């Protein structure tokens, strides 16, 4: 994990083994260095050059933490009585995956499941895009995407595929009782959406109405609209 925000959340919610920090970063964030040491992390002072070699960003912040892996089995992520779950199905871009995790966290989701050929949530870009949300809710990975949806159904979740051509309009009155119940939202990649076999497996395919002339919403915006629609229906 790199950067002040990600490292701060790692110290609070995960097990940090080691913190690499430049002198300038230590001066900017003394509380963070102290918190990491207090949590048992070994702190190593490094040069700017060394910090740059550890970083995969253009402008390194001089803070890099080594942590435990975050993912858990699907059954563990679903827990006992989940009410809102996000499923990333075939999302290849780490920035998109990290943003969906961030949105799911903000909307109060119980877990994020990464199904099929979805990018690793430990990818540096995904972690940065999540702005620390990877530490806030359970993450699980399984290459068998159908098995992930079956696990969601077995946990009592109605499976909803976000689909621009879906038969259920998100804003129609008929959608509200569906959204108010426990649901698992399935989001696909930016270019091709939810894979056809998974969309067919879903209980409903839900479309977001486009009222203007835009062709569609991007993945992050669509995920935010869908997850917050569920959060609002549950609280309404």
pLDDT at 236 over 80: no
The arrangement of secondary structure in 4-67, i.e. its CATH architecture, is 2-Layer Sandwich (3.30)
Kindly indicate the confidence band of residue 190, based on its pLDDT and cuts at 50, 70 and 90: confident
pLDDT of residue 135: 93
pTM of the model: 0.91
Mean pLDDT of the chain: 94
Q: pLDDT tens digits, residue range 132-152?
A: 899 999 999 999 999 999 999
| CATH 3.40.1280.10 corresponds to the domain 74-235 | yes
Following CA atoms 124, 129, 134, 135 in sequence, which dihedral angle do they give, to the nearest 10 degrees?
90
pLDDT of residue 89: 97
Helix (H, G, I), strand (E, B) or coil at 93: coil
Task: Give me the mean pLDDT over the 24-34 stretch.
Answer: 95
Kindly indicate the confidence band of residue 155, based on its pLDDT and cuts at 50, 70 and 90: very high
pLDDT of residue 205: 97
Q: At what angle do helices 4-13 and 30-38 cross, to 10 degrees?
A: 30
Surface-to-core class of residue 50, CB atoms within 10 Å of its CB (0-12 exposed, 13-18 middle, 19+ buried): middle
Q: pLDDT tens digits, residue range 165-188?
A: 999 999 999 999 999 999 999 999
**Structure tokens, 222:** 């669509």
pLDDT at 192 over 80: yes
Return the half-sphere exposure (C-beta side, CA atoms, 13 A cut-off) of residue 4. Answer: 12
**Strands annotated E in the chain:** 16-21, 42-45, 63-67, 84-89, 111-115, 139-142, 158-162, 168-169, 183-187, 204-207
The more confident residue out of 56 and 108 is 108
pLDDT of residue 60: 87
Kindly indicate the confidence band of residue 83, based on its pLDDT and cuts at 50, 70 and 90: very high
pLDDT of residue 3: 87
Per the DSSP assignment, residues forming a β-bridge with 159 are: 184
Give the span between the Cα atoms of 53 and 30, in whole angstroms: 23
CB count, 10 Å around CB of 145?
24
Per-domain boundaries in the chain? 4-67, 74-235
In the chain, the percentage of residues whose pLDDT exceeds 90 is 81
Return the half-sphere exposure (C-beta side, CA atoms, 13 A cut-off) of residue 126. Answer: 20
The more confident residue out of 4 and 206 is 206
Q: pLDDT tens digits, residue range 37-77?
A: 999 999 999 999 999 998 888 888 899 999 989 999 999 99
């Amino acid at each position: 994990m790199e950067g002040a925000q990600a490292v701060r959340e790692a110290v609070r919610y995960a097990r940090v083994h080691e913190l690499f920090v430049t002198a300038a970063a230590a001066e900017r964030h003394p509380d963070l260095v102290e918190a990491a040491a207090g949590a048992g992390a070994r702190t190593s002072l490094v040069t700017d050059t060394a910090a740059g070699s550890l970083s995969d960003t253009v402008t390194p912040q001089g803070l890099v933490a080594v942590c435990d892996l975050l993912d858990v089995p699907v059954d563990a992520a679903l827990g006992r009585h989940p009410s809102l779950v996000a499923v990333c199905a075939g999302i290849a871009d780490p920035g998109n995956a990290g943003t969906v995790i961030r949105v799911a966290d903000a909307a109060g989701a119980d877990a994020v499941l990464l199904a099929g050929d979805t990018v690793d949530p430990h990818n540096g870009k995904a972690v940065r895009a999540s702005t620390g949300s990877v530490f806030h809710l359970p993450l699980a990975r399984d290459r068998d995407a159908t098995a992930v949806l079956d696990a969601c159904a077995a946990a009592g979740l109605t499976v909803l595929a976000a689909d621009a051509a879906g038969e259920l309009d998100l804003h129609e009155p008929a959608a509200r009782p569906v959204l108010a119940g426990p649901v698992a939202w399935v989001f696909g990649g930016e270019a091709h959406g939810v894979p056809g076999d998974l969309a067919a497996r879903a209980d409903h395919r839900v479309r977001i109405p486009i009222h203007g002339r835009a062709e569609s919403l991007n993945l992050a915006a669509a995920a935010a609209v869908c997850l917050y629609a569920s959060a609002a229906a549950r609280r309404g």
